[in-house]
Amino acid sequence: MSNNFTPWERVEISRSSERPTSLDYITAIFDRYMSLHGDRLFGDDKAIVGGLASIAGRPVTVIGQQKGRSTKENIKRNFGMPSPEGYRKSLRLMKQAEKFHRPIILFVDTPGAFCGIEAEEGGVGEAIAKNLFEMSNIKVPILSIMIGEGGSGGALAMAVGNEVWSLENSTYSILSPEGFAAILWKDGNRASEAAKVMKITAQDLKELGIIEQIIEEPEPACLDNIMDISEKMRTMICGFLNKYDQKTQEEIVDERYDRFRKF
Amino acid sequence: MPLKEMFKKRTLTPQEKKQAERVRKAKDTLLEFQVPDGLFQKCTHCGKTVYNEDIIENYYVCPYCGSYFRVRPRTRIAMVLDKNTFQEWDEKMETSDPLKFPGYKKKLERQQAVTNLDEAVITGKGKICGKDVVIAVMGADFMMGSMGEVVGEKITRAVEKATKLRLPVIIFTCSGGARMQEGIISLMQMAKTSAALKKHDEAGLLYITVLTDPTTGGVTASFAMLGDVILAEPGALIGFAGPRVIEQTIGQKLPEGFQSAEFLLEHGFADKIVERKNLRKVLATVIRSCEYE
Protein backbone atom coordinates (compact mmCIF):
# COMPACT_ATOMS: atom_id res chain seq x y z
CA MET A 1 0.00 0.00 0.00
CA SER A 2 1.26 3.40 -0.88
CA ASN A 3 0.23 5.22 2.27
CA ASN A 4 -0.87 4.57 5.80
CA PHE A 5 -4.23 6.19 6.38
CA THR A 6 -6.40 4.96 9.23
CA PRO A 7 -9.73 3.38 8.26
CA TRP A 8 -11.56 6.51 9.37
CA GLU A 9 -9.26 8.75 7.28
CA ARG A 10 -10.09 6.58 4.30
CA VAL A 11 -13.80 6.98 5.02
CA GLU A 12 -13.30 10.74 4.92
CA ILE A 13 -11.27 10.57 1.71
CA SER A 14 -13.89 8.33 0.08
CA ARG A 15 -16.55 10.95 0.82
CA SER A 16 -14.48 14.00 -0.10
CA SER A 17 -15.95 16.38 -2.65
CA GLU A 18 -12.52 16.40 -4.33
CA ARG A 19 -12.87 12.77 -5.21
CA PRO A 20 -13.56 12.03 -8.89
CA THR A 21 -17.09 10.83 -9.67
CA SER A 22 -18.30 8.10 -12.01
CA LEU A 23 -18.61 10.49 -14.96
CA ASP A 24 -15.05 11.73 -14.40
CA TYR A 25 -13.74 8.17 -14.69
CA ILE A 26 -16.03 7.30 -17.57
CA THR A 27 -14.80 10.29 -19.57
CA ALA A 28 -11.17 9.61 -18.71
CA ILE A 29 -11.12 5.84 -19.31
CA PHE A 30 -13.33 5.25 -22.33
CA ASP A 31 -12.80 6.33 -25.94
CA ARG A 32 -16.38 7.43 -26.30
CA TYR A 33 -19.46 7.49 -24.11
CA MET A 34 -23.08 8.07 -24.99
CA SER A 35 -25.57 8.32 -22.14
CA LEU A 36 -28.92 6.52 -22.19
CA HIS A 37 -31.78 7.39 -19.91
CA GLY A 38 -34.86 6.13 -18.11
CA ASP A 39 -36.17 2.92 -16.62
CA ARG A 40 -39.15 2.67 -19.06
CA LEU A 41 -41.45 2.36 -16.05
CA PHE A 42 -41.45 5.54 -14.06
CA GLY A 43 -38.64 8.02 -14.60
CA ASP A 44 -34.97 8.78 -14.98
CA ASP A 45 -32.92 8.81 -11.80
CA LYS A 46 -30.06 11.32 -11.97
CA ALA A 47 -28.17 9.46 -9.24
CA ILE A 48 -27.37 6.71 -11.73
CA VAL A 49 -25.82 7.39 -15.11
CA GLY A 50 -25.10 4.91 -17.83
CA GLY A 51 -24.93 4.16 -21.48
CA LEU A 52 -22.82 2.94 -24.35
CA ALA A 53 -19.07 3.27 -24.33
CA SER A 54 -16.09 1.79 -26.04
CA ILE A 55 -12.69 0.85 -24.78
CA ALA A 56 -9.79 -0.11 -27.04
CA GLY A 57 -12.24 -0.25 -29.91
CA ARG A 58 -14.75 -2.61 -28.34
CA PRO A 59 -18.25 -1.71 -27.18
CA VAL A 60 -19.19 -2.04 -23.51
CA THR A 61 -22.02 -0.86 -21.30
CA VAL A 62 -21.01 1.41 -18.44
CA ILE A 63 -23.19 2.40 -15.50
CA GLY A 64 -22.22 4.45 -12.49
CA GLN A 65 -23.67 5.91 -9.33
CA GLN A 66 -23.20 9.63 -9.67
CA LYS A 67 -22.53 12.17 -6.95
CA GLY A 68 -22.35 15.90 -7.52
CA ARG A 69 -19.47 18.17 -6.69
CA SER A 70 -21.36 21.37 -5.89
CA THR A 71 -24.40 21.57 -3.63
CA LYS A 72 -26.58 22.39 -6.59
CA GLU A 73 -25.38 19.39 -8.53
CA ASN A 74 -25.68 17.21 -5.45
CA ILE A 75 -29.32 18.12 -5.10
CA LYS A 76 -29.87 17.12 -8.72
CA ARG A 77 -27.99 13.85 -8.14
CA ASN A 78 -29.61 13.29 -4.73
CA PHE A 79 -26.11 13.04 -3.22
CA GLY A 80 -25.55 9.82 -5.12
CA MET A 81 -28.40 8.02 -3.37
CA PRO A 82 -30.30 6.11 -6.05
CA SER A 83 -34.07 5.76 -6.09
CA PRO A 84 -35.89 2.61 -7.21
CA GLU A 85 -36.09 3.92 -10.78
CA GLY A 86 -32.29 4.27 -10.79
CA TYR A 87 -31.81 0.58 -10.01
CA ARG A 88 -34.44 -0.31 -12.58
CA LYS A 89 -32.63 1.81 -15.16
CA SER A 90 -29.37 0.06 -14.36
CA LEU A 91 -31.03 -3.33 -14.75
CA ARG A 92 -32.57 -2.31 -18.06
CA LEU A 93 -29.15 -1.25 -19.36
CA MET A 94 -27.57 -4.47 -18.13
CA LYS A 95 -30.25 -6.56 -19.88
CA GLN A 96 -29.61 -4.56 -23.04
CA ALA A 97 -25.89 -5.24 -22.70
CA GLU A 98 -26.61 -8.94 -22.33
CA LYS A 99 -28.77 -8.98 -25.44
CA PHE A 100 -26.01 -7.41 -27.54
CA HIS A 101 -23.16 -9.32 -25.90
CA ARG A 102 -21.48 -6.25 -24.43
CA PRO A 103 -19.47 -6.65 -21.21
CA ILE A 104 -20.68 -4.47 -18.32
CA ILE A 105 -18.49 -2.09 -16.31
CA LEU A 106 -20.05 -0.62 -13.15
CA PHE A 107 -18.79 2.23 -10.99
CA VAL A 108 -20.02 2.14 -7.41
CA ASP A 109 -20.11 5.33 -5.35
CA THR A 110 -23.06 5.79 -3.03
CA PRO A 111 -23.72 6.42 0.66
CA GLY A 112 -26.63 4.00 0.19
CA ALA A 113 -29.97 3.77 -1.55
CA PHE A 114 -32.22 6.77 -0.96
CA CYS A 115 -34.20 6.41 2.24
CA GLY A 116 -37.22 8.64 1.88
CA ILE A 117 -40.96 8.25 1.60
CA GLU A 118 -40.97 8.17 -2.21
CA ALA A 119 -38.29 5.47 -2.29
CA GLU A 120 -40.36 3.21 -0.05
CA GLU A 121 -43.48 3.89 -2.08
CA GLY A 122 -41.58 3.00 -5.22
CA GLY A 123 -40.34 -0.25 -3.67
CA VAL A 124 -36.64 0.40 -3.32
CA GLY A 125 -36.24 -2.95 -1.56
CA GLU A 126 -37.82 -4.73 -4.48
CA ALA A 127 -35.68 -2.81 -6.97
CA ILE A 128 -32.45 -3.82 -5.22
CA ALA A 129 -33.63 -7.40 -4.79
CA LYS A 130 -34.46 -7.65 -8.49
CA ASN A 131 -30.97 -6.42 -9.42
CA LEU A 132 -29.32 -9.06 -7.22
CA PHE A 133 -31.64 -11.72 -8.62
CA GLU A 134 -31.15 -10.86 -12.31
CA MET A 135 -27.47 -9.93 -12.16
CA SER A 136 -26.63 -13.38 -10.83
CA ASN A 137 -27.66 -14.81 -14.19
CA ILE A 138 -26.48 -12.24 -16.76
CA LYS A 139 -24.58 -13.98 -19.53
CA VAL A 140 -21.91 -11.33 -20.13
CA PRO A 141 -18.97 -10.51 -17.86
CA ILE A 142 -19.64 -7.91 -15.16
CA LEU A 143 -16.93 -5.84 -13.49
CA SER A 144 -17.72 -3.55 -10.55
CA ILE A 145 -15.29 -0.91 -9.37
CA MET A 146 -15.64 0.82 -6.02
CA ILE A 147 -14.50 4.40 -6.60
CA GLY A 148 -15.73 6.09 -3.42
CA GLU A 149 -18.33 5.05 -0.88
CA GLY A 150 -19.83 1.58 -1.14
CA GLY A 151 -22.84 1.89 1.11
CA SER A 152 -24.77 -1.24 1.93
CA GLY A 153 -27.45 -2.83 -0.28
CA GLY A 154 -27.48 0.29 -2.42
CA ALA A 155 -23.90 -0.50 -3.46
CA LEU A 156 -24.35 -4.27 -3.64
CA ALA A 157 -27.15 -3.81 -6.19
CA MET A 158 -24.41 -2.74 -8.61
CA ALA A 159 -21.70 -5.07 -7.35
CA VAL A 160 -22.81 -8.59 -8.23
CA GLY A 161 -19.86 -8.86 -10.56
CA ASN A 162 -17.58 -11.59 -11.83
CA GLU A 163 -14.94 -9.43 -10.25
CA VAL A 164 -15.16 -6.49 -7.87
CA TRP A 165 -12.25 -4.06 -7.62
CA SER A 166 -11.68 -1.14 -5.34
CA LEU A 167 -9.62 2.00 -5.38
CA GLU A 168 -7.24 2.04 -2.47
CA ASN A 169 -9.12 4.72 -0.54
CA SER A 170 -12.64 3.53 -1.27
CA THR A 171 -14.80 1.78 1.29
CA TYR A 172 -17.48 -0.88 1.08
CA SER A 173 -19.60 -1.63 4.12
CA ILE A 174 -22.86 -2.92 5.46
CA LEU A 175 -23.76 0.48 6.90
CA SER A 176 -22.02 3.80 7.49
CA PRO A 177 -19.66 3.65 10.48
CA GLU A 178 -21.88 6.27 12.14
CA GLY A 179 -24.96 4.07 11.75
CA PHE A 180 -23.06 0.97 12.85
CA ALA A 181 -21.88 2.68 16.05
CA ALA A 182 -25.37 4.02 16.70
CA ILE A 183 -26.94 0.57 16.38
CA LEU A 184 -24.40 -1.53 18.23
CA TRP A 185 -23.07 0.91 20.79
CA LYS A 186 -25.92 3.42 20.88
CA ASP A 187 -23.33 6.09 20.20
CA GLY A 188 -22.96 7.55 16.70
CA ASN A 189 -19.86 9.47 17.79
CA ARG A 190 -17.78 6.32 17.94
CA ALA A 191 -17.72 6.15 14.14
CA SER A 192 -13.94 6.12 13.79
CA GLU A 193 -13.74 3.16 16.14
CA ALA A 194 -16.49 1.46 14.17
CA ALA A 195 -14.60 2.02 10.92
CA LYS A 196 -11.74 0.03 12.39
CA VAL A 197 -13.73 -3.04 13.50
CA MET A 198 -16.02 -3.11 10.46
CA LYS A 199 -13.25 -4.06 7.98
CA ILE A 200 -14.28 -1.62 5.32
CA THR A 201 -11.00 -0.66 3.67
CA ALA A 202 -9.86 -2.10 0.37
CA GLN A 203 -7.08 -4.01 2.10
CA ASP A 204 -9.48 -5.62 4.61
CA LEU A 205 -11.98 -6.44 1.87
CA LYS A 206 -9.32 -8.15 -0.19
CA GLU A 207 -8.35 -10.30 2.76
CA LEU A 208 -12.00 -11.27 3.22
CA GLY A 209 -12.27 -12.16 -0.47
CA ILE A 210 -14.90 -9.48 -1.11
CA ILE A 211 -12.76 -7.83 -3.79
CA GLU A 212 -10.22 -9.19 -6.25
CA GLN A 213 -8.00 -6.21 -6.93
CA ILE A 214 -6.94 -2.97 -5.35
CA ILE A 215 -6.21 -0.04 -7.63
CA GLU A 216 -3.45 1.93 -5.96
CA GLU A 217 -3.72 5.63 -5.31
CA PRO A 218 -0.20 7.03 -4.79
CA GLU A 219 -1.99 10.20 -3.72
CA PRO A 220 -5.71 10.20 -2.90
CA ALA A 221 -7.54 10.38 -6.23
CA CYS A 222 -8.60 13.85 -7.36
CA LEU A 223 -9.07 15.69 -10.62
CA ASP A 224 -5.34 16.53 -10.80
CA ASN A 225 -4.17 12.94 -10.81
CA ILE A 226 -7.20 11.25 -12.38
CA MET A 227 -5.42 10.75 -15.73
CA ASP A 228 -2.70 8.60 -14.12
CA ILE A 229 -5.19 6.47 -12.22
CA SER A 230 -7.49 6.17 -15.22
CA GLU A 231 -4.64 5.04 -17.44
CA LYS A 232 -3.92 2.26 -14.97
CA MET A 233 -7.61 1.36 -14.76
CA ARG A 234 -7.87 1.31 -18.54
CA THR A 235 -5.07 -1.23 -18.81
CA MET A 236 -6.60 -3.33 -16.04
CA ILE A 237 -10.07 -3.25 -17.63
CA CYS A 238 -8.64 -4.32 -20.99
CA GLY A 239 -6.95 -7.20 -19.18
CA PHE A 240 -10.27 -8.15 -17.61
CA LEU A 241 -12.06 -8.10 -20.97
CA ASN A 242 -9.38 -10.21 -22.64
CA LYS A 243 -9.49 -12.74 -19.82
CA TYR A 244 -13.27 -13.12 -20.06
CA ASP A 245 -13.18 -13.37 -23.86
CA GLN A 246 -11.79 -16.87 -23.34
CA LYS A 247 -14.80 -17.99 -21.30
CA THR A 248 -18.16 -19.37 -22.40
CA GLN A 249 -21.43 -17.81 -21.25
CA GLU A 250 -21.98 -20.75 -18.98
CA GLU A 251 -18.60 -20.33 -17.33
CA ILE A 252 -19.24 -16.63 -16.83
CA VAL A 253 -22.55 -17.27 -15.05
CA ASP A 254 -21.29 -20.24 -13.02
CA GLU A 255 -18.18 -18.42 -11.86
CA ARG A 256 -20.22 -15.46 -10.70
CA TYR A 257 -22.59 -17.76 -8.83
CA ASP A 258 -19.69 -19.52 -7.12
CA ARG A 259 -18.07 -16.22 -6.27
CA PHE A 260 -21.03 -15.26 -4.09
CA ARG A 261 -21.92 -18.79 -3.04
CA LYS A 262 -18.72 -19.07 -1.03
CA PHE A 263 -19.65 -16.36 1.48
CA MET B 1 -70.93 -13.97 36.15
CA PRO B 2 -71.79 -13.54 39.85
CA LEU B 3 -69.04 -14.65 42.15
CA LYS B 4 -70.92 -17.46 43.86
CA GLU B 5 -71.62 -19.15 40.55
CA MET B 6 -68.00 -19.16 39.56
CA PHE B 7 -67.24 -21.92 41.98
CA LYS B 8 -70.38 -23.92 41.36
CA LYS B 9 -70.00 -27.28 39.67
CA ARG B 10 -72.15 -27.52 36.59
CA THR B 11 -72.23 -29.29 33.26
CA LEU B 12 -71.03 -27.44 30.16
CA THR B 13 -73.47 -26.24 27.53
CA PRO B 14 -72.95 -27.73 24.05
CA GLN B 15 -71.38 -24.45 22.88
CA GLU B 16 -69.01 -24.44 25.79
CA LYS B 17 -68.09 -28.05 25.12
CA LYS B 18 -67.34 -27.22 21.51
CA GLN B 19 -65.30 -24.26 22.60
CA ALA B 20 -63.35 -26.37 25.08
CA GLU B 21 -62.69 -28.92 22.38
CA ARG B 22 -61.39 -26.22 20.03
CA VAL B 23 -59.10 -24.89 22.70
CA ARG B 24 -57.81 -28.35 23.47
CA LYS B 25 -57.08 -28.97 19.79
CA ALA B 26 -55.33 -25.66 19.30
CA LYS B 27 -53.29 -26.26 22.42
CA ASP B 28 -52.39 -29.72 21.26
CA THR B 29 -50.76 -28.49 18.09
CA LEU B 30 -49.48 -25.14 19.19
CA LEU B 31 -48.96 -24.92 22.90
CA GLU B 32 -46.09 -27.31 23.05
CA PHE B 33 -44.04 -24.94 20.92
CA GLN B 34 -44.83 -21.58 22.39
CA VAL B 35 -46.02 -21.34 25.93
CA PRO B 36 -46.39 -17.77 27.09
CA ASP B 37 -45.52 -17.35 30.73
CA GLY B 38 -48.43 -17.20 33.15
CA LEU B 39 -52.13 -17.25 32.54
CA PHE B 40 -52.62 -13.85 31.00
CA GLN B 41 -50.83 -11.56 28.64
CA LYS B 42 -51.25 -7.91 27.93
CA CYS B 43 -51.90 -7.07 24.31
CA THR B 44 -49.21 -4.55 23.38
CA HIS B 45 -51.59 -2.89 20.97
CA CYS B 46 -54.87 -2.34 22.85
CA GLY B 47 -53.49 -2.85 26.35
CA LYS B 48 -56.25 -5.30 27.31
CA THR B 49 -55.45 -8.31 29.42
CA VAL B 50 -56.04 -11.47 27.42
CA TYR B 51 -56.20 -15.11 28.45
CA ASN B 52 -53.31 -17.07 26.96
CA GLU B 53 -55.76 -19.76 25.96
CA ASP B 54 -57.78 -17.26 24.00
CA ILE B 55 -54.68 -16.01 22.25
CA ILE B 56 -53.59 -19.49 21.27
CA GLU B 57 -57.02 -20.48 20.10
CA ASN B 58 -57.17 -17.34 18.00
CA TYR B 59 -53.86 -18.11 16.18
CA TYR B 60 -51.96 -15.63 18.32
CA VAL B 61 -54.19 -12.76 17.36
CA CYS B 62 -55.66 -10.50 20.05
CA PRO B 63 -59.37 -11.40 20.35
CA TYR B 64 -60.21 -7.80 21.24
CA CYS B 65 -58.38 -5.59 18.78
CA GLY B 66 -57.28 -8.12 16.17
CA SER B 67 -53.62 -7.13 16.31
CA TYR B 68 -51.08 -9.83 15.62
CA PHE B 69 -48.71 -11.29 18.18
CA ARG B 70 -45.38 -12.41 16.73
CA VAL B 71 -45.20 -16.15 16.25
CA ARG B 72 -42.11 -18.17 16.99
CA PRO B 73 -40.73 -20.30 14.14
CA ARG B 74 -41.72 -23.71 15.51
CA THR B 75 -45.22 -22.51 16.29
CA ARG B 76 -45.50 -21.19 12.75
CA ILE B 77 -44.41 -24.52 11.34
CA ALA B 78 -47.04 -26.26 13.47
CA MET B 79 -49.68 -23.83 12.21
CA VAL B 80 -48.87 -24.20 8.54
CA LEU B 81 -47.59 -27.71 7.88
CA ASP B 82 -49.43 -31.01 8.12
CA LYS B 83 -48.91 -32.57 11.51
CA ASN B 84 -45.60 -34.40 12.04
CA THR B 85 -44.38 -33.88 8.48
CA PHE B 86 -41.60 -31.41 9.25
CA GLN B 87 -38.07 -32.59 8.77
CA GLU B 88 -35.49 -30.03 9.82
CA TRP B 89 -32.35 -29.37 7.77
CA ASP B 90 -28.92 -27.95 8.64
CA GLU B 91 -29.34 -27.59 12.38
CA LYS B 92 -26.52 -26.27 14.52
CA MET B 93 -24.47 -24.43 11.91
CA GLU B 94 -21.92 -22.03 13.34
CA THR B 95 -20.78 -18.64 12.13
CA SER B 96 -17.12 -18.00 11.41
CA ASP B 97 -17.47 -14.61 13.15
CA PRO B 98 -15.74 -12.82 10.25
CA LEU B 99 -15.14 -9.53 12.09
CA LYS B 100 -14.11 -11.26 15.32
CA PHE B 101 -16.53 -8.81 16.83
CA PRO B 102 -16.03 -8.44 20.59
CA GLY B 103 -18.68 -10.31 22.57
CA TYR B 104 -20.55 -11.61 19.52
CA LYS B 105 -20.04 -15.34 20.14
CA LYS B 106 -21.13 -14.91 23.76
CA LYS B 107 -24.22 -13.05 22.67
CA LEU B 108 -25.11 -15.87 20.29
CA GLU B 109 -24.78 -18.45 23.04
CA ARG B 110 -27.03 -16.41 25.31
CA GLN B 111 -29.60 -16.05 22.56
CA GLN B 112 -29.52 -19.76 21.88
CA ALA B 113 -30.15 -20.51 25.52
CA VAL B 114 -32.97 -18.00 25.88
CA THR B 115 -34.83 -18.72 22.63
CA ASN B 116 -34.16 -22.43 22.31
CA LEU B 117 -33.24 -21.79 18.66
CA ASP B 118 -29.88 -22.35 16.95
CA GLU B 119 -30.20 -19.30 14.75
CA ALA B 120 -32.71 -16.79 13.38
CA VAL B 121 -34.10 -19.21 10.79
CA ILE B 122 -35.35 -22.79 10.72
CA THR B 123 -35.32 -24.59 7.39
CA GLY B 124 -36.55 -27.95 6.25
CA LYS B 125 -39.06 -29.97 4.34
CA GLY B 126 -42.68 -30.77 5.10
CA LYS B 127 -46.16 -31.08 3.64
CA ILE B 128 -49.02 -28.64 3.24
CA CYS B 129 -52.33 -30.41 2.57
CA GLY B 130 -50.32 -33.37 1.37
CA LYS B 131 -48.04 -31.41 -0.96
CA ASP B 132 -44.29 -31.49 -0.37
CA VAL B 133 -42.70 -28.09 0.23
CA VAL B 134 -39.39 -26.67 1.36
CA ILE B 135 -39.94 -24.12 4.08
CA ALA B 136 -37.83 -21.52 5.89
CA VAL B 137 -39.19 -19.62 8.86
CA MET B 138 -37.42 -16.69 10.45
CA GLY B 139 -37.95 -15.64 14.05
CA ALA B 140 -37.73 -12.17 15.52
CA ASP B 141 -36.73 -13.26 18.98
CA PHE B 142 -33.31 -14.47 17.84
CA MET B 143 -31.26 -11.26 17.44
CA MET B 144 -34.18 -9.55 15.74
CA GLY B 145 -34.16 -12.14 12.98
CA SER B 146 -31.03 -10.58 11.53
CA MET B 147 -29.31 -12.27 8.60
CA GLY B 148 -25.67 -13.26 8.94
CA GLU B 149 -23.64 -16.04 7.43
CA VAL B 150 -25.65 -18.88 8.99
CA VAL B 151 -29.09 -17.53 8.08
CA GLY B 152 -27.93 -16.85 4.51
CA GLU B 153 -26.31 -20.28 4.22
CA LYS B 154 -29.31 -22.18 5.59
CA ILE B 155 -31.69 -20.41 3.24
CA THR B 156 -29.36 -20.87 0.26
CA ARG B 157 -28.94 -24.57 0.98
CA ALA B 158 -32.69 -25.00 1.40
CA VAL B 159 -33.36 -23.28 -1.93
CA GLU B 160 -30.65 -25.28 -3.70
CA LYS B 161 -32.06 -28.52 -2.32
CA ALA B 162 -35.55 -27.46 -3.42
CA THR B 163 -34.22 -26.88 -6.93
CA LYS B 164 -32.67 -30.34 -6.93
CA LEU B 165 -35.83 -31.99 -5.54
CA ARG B 166 -38.05 -29.83 -7.77
CA LEU B 167 -40.12 -28.54 -4.84
CA PRO B 168 -41.76 -25.21 -4.11
CA VAL B 169 -40.10 -22.94 -1.54
CA ILE B 170 -42.01 -20.97 1.08
CA ILE B 171 -40.13 -18.42 3.17
CA PHE B 172 -41.66 -16.65 6.14
CA THR B 173 -39.63 -13.47 6.47
CA CYS B 174 -39.20 -11.72 9.78
CA SER B 175 -36.05 -9.71 10.17
CA GLY B 176 -34.51 -6.44 11.24
CA GLY B 177 -32.13 -6.77 8.28
CA ALA B 178 -28.51 -7.75 7.90
CA ARG B 179 -26.58 -8.76 11.02
CA MET B 180 -24.27 -5.88 11.88
CA GLN B 181 -21.86 -8.03 13.89
CA GLU B 182 -20.81 -9.88 10.72
CA GLY B 183 -20.28 -6.73 8.67
CA ILE B 184 -19.82 -7.01 4.93
CA ILE B 185 -20.20 -10.80 5.00
CA SER B 186 -23.83 -10.30 6.05
CA LEU B 187 -24.31 -8.08 3.01
CA MET B 188 -23.04 -10.84 0.75
CA GLN B 189 -25.83 -13.11 1.98
CA MET B 190 -28.28 -10.94 0.07
CA ALA B 191 -26.55 -11.69 -3.22
CA LYS B 192 -26.06 -15.35 -2.32
CA THR B 193 -29.69 -16.08 -1.45
CA SER B 194 -31.00 -14.10 -4.43
CA ALA B 195 -28.74 -15.99 -6.81
CA ALA B 196 -29.94 -19.34 -5.45
CA LEU B 197 -33.54 -18.22 -5.92
CA LYS B 198 -32.78 -17.21 -9.50
CA LYS B 199 -31.68 -20.78 -10.23
CA HIS B 200 -34.83 -22.08 -8.58
CA ASP B 201 -36.83 -19.68 -10.73
CA GLU B 202 -35.04 -20.71 -13.92
CA ALA B 203 -35.97 -24.30 -13.13
CA GLY B 204 -39.61 -23.24 -13.35
CA LEU B 205 -40.37 -23.76 -9.68
CA LEU B 206 -42.66 -21.89 -7.33
CA TYR B 207 -41.44 -19.51 -4.63
CA ILE B 208 -43.87 -17.96 -2.15
CA THR B 209 -42.86 -15.32 0.38
CA VAL B 210 -44.94 -14.59 3.43
CA LEU B 211 -43.96 -11.23 4.91
CA THR B 212 -44.49 -11.06 8.65
CA ASP B 213 -43.82 -8.37 11.20
CA PRO B 214 -41.19 -6.97 10.87
CA THR B 215 -39.48 -7.44 7.50
CA THR B 216 -36.88 -4.76 6.81
CA GLY B 217 -33.41 -3.95 5.51
CA GLY B 218 -31.32 -6.52 3.73
CA VAL B 219 -34.02 -9.17 3.88
CA THR B 220 -36.55 -6.89 2.20
CA ALA B 221 -33.93 -5.98 -0.40
CA SER B 222 -33.29 -9.62 -1.26
CA PHE B 223 -35.38 -12.77 -0.90
CA ALA B 224 -38.46 -11.16 0.70
CA MET B 225 -39.34 -9.33 -2.51
CA LEU B 226 -38.58 -12.11 -4.97
CA GLY B 227 -41.58 -14.41 -4.56
CA ASP B 228 -43.71 -15.46 -7.51
CA VAL B 229 -46.48 -14.79 -5.06
CA ILE B 230 -45.93 -12.39 -2.16
CA LEU B 231 -48.31 -12.68 0.79
CA ALA B 232 -48.29 -10.51 3.91
CA GLU B 233 -49.81 -10.66 7.36
CA PRO B 234 -52.17 -7.82 8.28
CA GLY B 235 -50.50 -4.82 9.87
CA ALA B 236 -46.95 -6.15 9.46
CA LEU B 237 -44.18 -3.55 9.19
CA ILE B 238 -42.42 -4.07 5.86
CA GLY B 239 -39.86 -1.74 4.36
CA PHE B 240 -36.28 -1.22 3.31
CA ALA B 241 -35.09 1.64 5.52
CA GLY B 242 -36.35 1.56 9.09
CA PRO B 243 -39.03 4.13 9.93
CA ARG B 244 -36.77 5.88 12.47
CA VAL B 245 -33.99 6.27 9.92
CA ILE B 246 -36.41 7.81 7.43
CA GLU B 247 -37.82 10.16 10.05
CA GLN B 248 -34.32 11.32 10.93
CA THR B 249 -33.40 11.78 7.28
CA ILE B 250 -36.43 13.78 6.22
CA GLY B 251 -36.94 15.45 9.60
CA GLN B 252 -40.65 14.83 9.86
CA LYS B 253 -43.11 12.30 11.26
CA LEU B 254 -44.20 9.52 8.93
CA PRO B 255 -47.86 9.17 8.01
CA GLU B 256 -50.02 6.59 9.77
CA GLY B 257 -49.77 3.15 8.18
CA PHE B 258 -46.54 3.94 6.31
CA GLN B 259 -44.63 0.72 5.48
CA SER B 260 -47.49 -1.51 6.65
CA ALA B 261 -48.58 -4.59 4.73
CA GLU B 262 -51.58 -2.57 3.53
CA PHE B 263 -49.23 0.17 2.27
CA LEU B 264 -47.33 -2.45 0.28
CA LEU B 265 -50.49 -3.83 -1.23
CA GLU B 266 -51.61 -0.32 -2.16
CA HIS B 267 -48.32 0.40 -3.94
CA GLY B 268 -48.23 -2.88 -5.79
CA PHE B 269 -45.52 -4.74 -3.90
CA ALA B 270 -47.59 -7.53 -2.35
CA ASP B 271 -50.17 -9.81 -3.92
CA LYS B 272 -52.41 -10.34 -0.98
CA ILE B 273 -52.87 -9.75 2.72
CA VAL B 274 -53.86 -12.99 4.36
CA GLU B 275 -55.27 -13.48 7.83
CA ARG B 276 -53.36 -15.97 9.85
CA LYS B 277 -56.22 -18.40 10.20
CA ASN B 278 -56.55 -18.64 6.41
CA LEU B 279 -52.85 -18.83 5.62
CA ARG B 280 -52.56 -22.59 5.33
CA LYS B 281 -55.49 -22.77 2.93
CA VAL B 282 -54.21 -19.90 0.79
CA LEU B 283 -50.76 -21.50 0.56
CA ALA B 284 -52.31 -24.79 -0.47
CA THR B 285 -54.37 -23.07 -3.18
CA VAL B 286 -51.35 -21.27 -4.61
CA ILE B 287 -49.29 -24.46 -4.60
CA ARG B 288 -52.03 -26.41 -6.38
CA SER B 289 -52.47 -23.65 -8.96
CA CYS B 290 -48.80 -23.71 -9.83
CA GLU B 291 -48.49 -27.42 -10.51
CA TYR B 292 -48.09 -28.28 -14.14
CA GLU B 293 -45.91 -31.34 -14.46
Q: Is A115 contained in some domain?
A: yes
For every residue of B27-52, DSSP letters joined together read: IIIIITT---SSSEEE-TTT--EEEH
Q: Does B149 touch chain A (CB under 8 A)?
A: yes
pLDDT tops 90 at residue A32: yes
d(CA A261, CA A40): 32
Q: What mean pLDDT, rounded, does chain B reach?
A: 90
pLDDT at residue A197, rounded to an integer: 93
Residue A246 lies in a domain: yes
CA-based nearest distance B239→chain A, Å: 7
Q: Return residues 47-106 of B near A (CB < 8 Å).
A: 98-99, 101-102
Give residue B3's pLDDT: 67
- Which of the four pLDDT bands, split at 50, 70 and 90, describes residue B7? low
pLDDT(A49) > 60 = yes
Q: Which of A125, A134, A257 sits opposite B240 (nearest CB)?
A: A125
Mean pLDDT (whole number) for B281-291 = 96
B19-43 pLDDT per residue, tens: 777 666 665 555 545 555 677 888 8
Lowest mean per-residue pLDDT among A228-232, B82-86, B98-102, B289-293: B289-293
The predicted structure's pLDDT at residue B10: 65
Asked whether residue A262 is domain-assigned, the answer is no
Q: Across the interface, do A120 and B259 touch by the CB < 8 Å criterion?
A: yes
Neighboring chain A residues of B198 at a CB cutoff of 8 Å: 133-134, 136-137
DSSP-H helix ranges across chain A: 7-15, 22-29, 71-77, 84-99, 117-121, 124-135, 152-156, 177-185, 191-197, 202-208, 226-245, 249-261
Question: Residue A2 domain-assigned?
Answer: no
* Domain boundaries, given as residue ranges, for chain B: 15-69, 71-289
| Residue B224 with chain A: CB contacts under 8 Å | 125, 129
This model's pTM is above 0.90: yes
Q: What is the pLDDT of residue B16?
A: 77
Chain B hits for A173, Cβ within 8 Å: 183-184, 187
Out of B101, B202, B269, name the one closest to residue A197 (CB).
Answer: B101
- pLDDT-based confidence at B236, cuts 50/70/90? very high
Q: How many domains does chain A have?
A: 1
Q: Is the pLDDT of residue B172 over 60?
A: yes
For the ranges A178-182, A240-244, B3-7, the lowest mean pLDDT is seen at B3-7
A172 to A190, A256, B115, B143: CA distances (angstroms): 18, 19, 33, 24
pLDDT band at B14 (very low <50, low <70, confident <90, very high): confident
String of b and e for A13-42 (b: at least 16 CB within 10 Å)? bbbeeebbbbbbbbebbbeebeeeeebeee
Give the SS3 label for residue A165.
strand
Inform me whether the pLDDT recorded for A1 exceeds 60: no
Give the mean model confidence (pLDDT) for residues A123-131.
97
Average pLDDT over residues A197-205: 95
**ipTM (interface predicted TM):** 0.96
The CATH number of the domain holding residue A173 is 3.90.226.10
**Residue A18, domain extent:** 7-256
Interface contact B265, partner A, CB < 8 A: no
In this predicted structure, the answer to whether residue B184 has a pLDDT above a threshold of 90 is: yes
Return the CATH superfamily for domain B71-289: 2-enoyl-CoA Hydratase; Chain A, domain 1 (3.90.226.10)
